[in-house]
Amino acid sequence: MPIIKNIDALSRPNSKLRKDALAILEAGLRAIDTKNILRQKISLHDNSFCVSTEHAKIRGMGFQCNFFERIFFIGIGKCALDGALAIEEMLGDKLTDGIVVDVRTGNLKKIKSYVGTHPYPSDINIDTTNRIIEMVEGVTERDLVLVLISGGGSALLCMPSDKNCDSLSRITKELTNKGAQISELNIVRKHLSLVHGGGLAKILYPAQVVSLIFSDVPGDDMSIVASGPTVKDDSTLEEVKNVLGKYNVDSDFIKTLNFTETSKEDKYFKKVQNFLVLSNKDALMAMQEKAQELGFRASVETNTLSGEAREIGKKFASDAISPDTCYIFGGETTVSLKAEGKGGRNQELVLGALPYIKDSRVVASIASDGWDNTEVAGALADGEMQKKAEELGLHPEDFLEKNNSYDFWQKIDGDIYTGRLGSNVSDLVIILNRNGKR
């Protein structure tokens, strides 16, 4: 069954170029299936729990399960539920206890599943984080804690230094709406948290900690993914001050925030192993392979795409591109909000492309978690979509002005729908060009 649920509808009117574009995106999504990735990179042999990943600084490491008195599992973020299903399958009765906090819930045997709020934290998230802390209270060096960390964890794992969710939500919303990069936003959030910026590692000390990290950030900096709960943090309060100044955050509001220094002591991290299990490179390489299979000259242009979404879309639709070519991108653009419309950066990127699209070209962009700030994953644009909008009297500029990309794509059936996915490795974007034929 396809991951993209409306492939057939989007492929009409018998557009091979659209079908190819959707097949390429589908290949990227299949390559980042959380359960499959864990089955590939984690194994249990002769009572030894082994992690093997080419992304890790340490190529393959084993932990003897019978050495540990207890084994706990903590899952954080949009990959947590699927990760918990795989971990339960592998460890079975060897697992002592576990908790996951995700945007979805499911039936687990031993691990407890909780749904948190995202993208803004709430008291629900604080309550679940307290449950995690209570679960691991009193851990010793004879305990093993497996931590799956994925995008969304900055909000879902939540313990503000002042116990005030409202102020944390406000600063998150303000910086997001002003177009702050995820690295900038997470530097600020780490210094308002007792569990991020290495704070969870401090709580888990002196247990052996193995973190399985699914990167959703440009450059795969593990200290930025979910604001780095088990990674020693190098950022400073001075950097926080610079970010707040750059985006002109109200000085009176800043005075109400309780900034703290992140955990810097080496001892809390000596028994922590952080493994980068998956990044958008895995999806991008699978997309390149599929595009080549379909007869395109395909290249991964970057895995750190950034910039204003609508401007990126315009550039992708306007730039010269050779026939039978596929350009592939991963990363996260930003949307500087001008209005309170509905939509996400992927839909806005493609809407920015639509007025400039050529008949021989498709531009498509999706969120790899299937949720582009709405229930759709993203959108697809080509010459037919442009003509349909003109026939309906819809002007992309009007919808962009209101940051209302969602309503536009709903009206012309250009959205890509997957439902919420248990994967999250940044956005996936393609430009596809044939030889002038639709």
Query: What residues contact 402, with CB distance under 8 A and at least 6 apart?
Result: 338, 339, 341
φ, ψ at 391 (rounded to 5°): -65, -35
Distances (CA, A) of 356 to 307, 319, 345, 359, 382: 18, 10, 18, 10, 9
Beta strand spans in 91-184 (E): 97-102, 111-115, 143-150
Instruction: Say which CATH class 7-31+281-433 falls into.
Output: alpha beta
Closest C-alpha among 390, 393, 378 to residue 429: 378
Give residue 64's pLDDT. Answer: 84
Structure tokens that stand for 417 in this block: 């729908």
Listed by start position, the domains of the chain span 7-31+281-433, 56-278
> What is the three-class DSSP state of 195?
coil
Contact 429, 364 (CB under 8 A): yes
End-to-end CA, the chain = 27
Give residue 54's pLDDT. Answer: 58
Closest C-alpha among 332, 345, 316 to residue 279: 332
Give residue 52's pLDDT. Answer: 78
Q: Does the 56-278 domain belong in CATH 3.40.50.10180?
A: yes
Tell me how crowded residue 353 is: count the other CB atoms within 10 A of its CB.
31
Query: What residues contact 281, with CB distance under 8 A and at least 6 apart?
Result: 220, 300, 303, 330
Query: What residues contact 380, with CB distance under 8 A and at least 6 apart?
Result: 10, 18, 21, 22, 350, 362, 363, 364, 414, 416
Closest C-alpha among 174, 167, 269, 187 to residue 227: 187
Tens place of pLDDT per residue across the chain (438 aa): 999 999 999 987 668 999 999 999 999 999 999 999 999 998 888 888 888 765 444 455 788 888 899 999 999 999 999 999 999 999 999 999 999 999 999 999 999 999 999 999 999 999 999 999 999 999 999 999 999 999 999 999 999 999 889 999 999 999 999 989 999 999 999 999 999 999 999 999 999 999 999 999 988 999 999 999 999 999 999 999 999 999 999 999 999 999 999 999 999 999 999 999 999 999 999 999 999 999 999 999 999 999 999 999 999 999 999 999 999 999 999 998 888 899 999 999 999 999 999 889 999 999 999 999 999 999 999 999 999 999 999 999 999 999 999 999 999 999 999 999 999 999 999 999 987 443
Tell me how crowded residue 51 is: count the other CB atoms within 10 A of its CB.
22
Residue type, 179: G
